[in-house]
Structure 1
């Protein structure tokens, strides 16, 4: 193993997922109030996101999302994309209120880099790259620190589709046995085991949508992951 794939929200970026979602939609509703009612904002964004997550065609997530949203909203698609772009430069910053300042993941990445591991951000690519860069900085990093960052514009699939992980591995030229996926979402992150990746489930801010047994190679809180990293050999 020589490569660490990190989920972002709730993993590399400690945050309250419920509060994140609450603020995010409140800001979207304010920003798009002139073209959609509050109910329409929530219904349309979730609806187009669901279509994007289920997509298995070789189309970027951005293309799938915007094409579907364009069918739901009576608004010029080019202007709609521009509105979203500006939203992520402005109102989106309010979401930072959901972020927690916990140093263990920052310290873990520092140690992994010192030991020679390849570090990549394998976040569910539901957001534009600029929104992901904002969140990476909120976590205490610079985007340039990572070999790879999955994004709305670049990736063609979403978690929990196995095609998402296959695409990430292809982009970074790694084999499953080279990698460990670190995340806090049982359904979205641990599915990578089916391809042969090792997994580490972060139990802080745990997301588990079923009663199914949790199957993972490693499990623990942020502090436990930090201790785990310290035991890893140099590459």
Structure 2
């Protein structure tokens, strides 16, 4: 093993996901206040996101999202796209209040980097690249430490589909046996095992909304993961 694929929300970036989503849509509603009803906007964003996750036709997530979102709104989709971009550079910053930092995960990433591991942000690509960069910074980490960061603009598949993990492997030029997926969501992250990627399930912000079998190769807290990383060899 020489490569670690990290989920972001609830993994490198501790959070209460419900608080995060509440602040996310509250601030988005404020940003679009003169455009549309905030509650309707949230509903439309969620609808388009679900279509994006379920559509695996080779187009980027951004293209799929915007095509469907365009059918739900009145007005110019290009103007909406520009306003979404502005949101992520302004009021999205308020969403940081729903997140924390983990000193154990920060140290673990630093140790892995020093030991020569390839580090990848394999977050579900539902957000634009800039939003992912912001959240990496909120976690107390340097985006430049990561060889690749998945994103809404570039990726063509989403979790939990195995094609998402294959897309990441293809992008970074790695084989499954070289990689470990570290995440906190049973439904989204553990399917990496279907490709032969080893898995580490973090329990501090554990999500198992479907009450699935949560058997992973390794399971533990942030503190446990740091201890695990400390005993890994250099590569």
**TM tier, shorter chain?**
over 0.9
Decide whether the 8 Å contact of 2:101 with 2:140 is kept in 1: no
Measured in 2, the distance between the counterparts of 1:109 and 1:45 equals: 33
- Note the residue ranges of structure 2 that are not aligned, 5 or more in a row: none
Deviation at 1:179, TM superposition (A): 0.3
Residue 140 of structure 2: aligned partner: 140
Q: How many residues align?
A: 235
CA contact (8 A) 2:12 2:102 kept: no
Q: 1:48-197 counterparts in 2 under 5 A?
A: 48-197=48-197
Structure 1 residue 213: Cα displacement: 1.9
SS state of the match for residue 66, structure 2? helix
When the two chains are superposed, the root-mean-square deviation of aligned CA atoms in Å is 0.8
How far apart are residue 30 of structure 1 and its match?
1.3
Q: Does the alignment pair 1:223 with 2:217?
A: no
C-alpha deviation, 1:34, in angstroms: 2.0
Q: Deviations over 1:39-66 (max 9, x none)?
A: 3112101000000110111000100001
Partner of 2:37: 37
1:140 Cα deviation from its structure 2 partner: 1.2
Q: Which residue of 2 aligns with 1:232?
A: 232
State how far apart, in whole Å, the 1-side matches of 2:56 and 2:65 are: 13
Q: TM-score, normalised by structure 2?
A: 0.98
Q: How far 1:199 moved relative to its partner?
A: 0.2
Structure 1 unmatched ranges of 5 or more: none
Any idea what SS the aligned residue of 1:181 has? strand
How far apart in 2 are the matches of 1:177 and 1:116?
Answer: 17
Using the alignment, how far apart are the partners of 1:212 and 1:185 within structure 2? 10
Query: Which position in structure 1 is the counterpart of 2:210?
Result: 210
Moved over 3 A (4+): none
> TM-score, normalising length from structure 1?
0.98
Q: Contact conserved, 2:187 with 2:212, CA < 8 A, in 1?
A: no
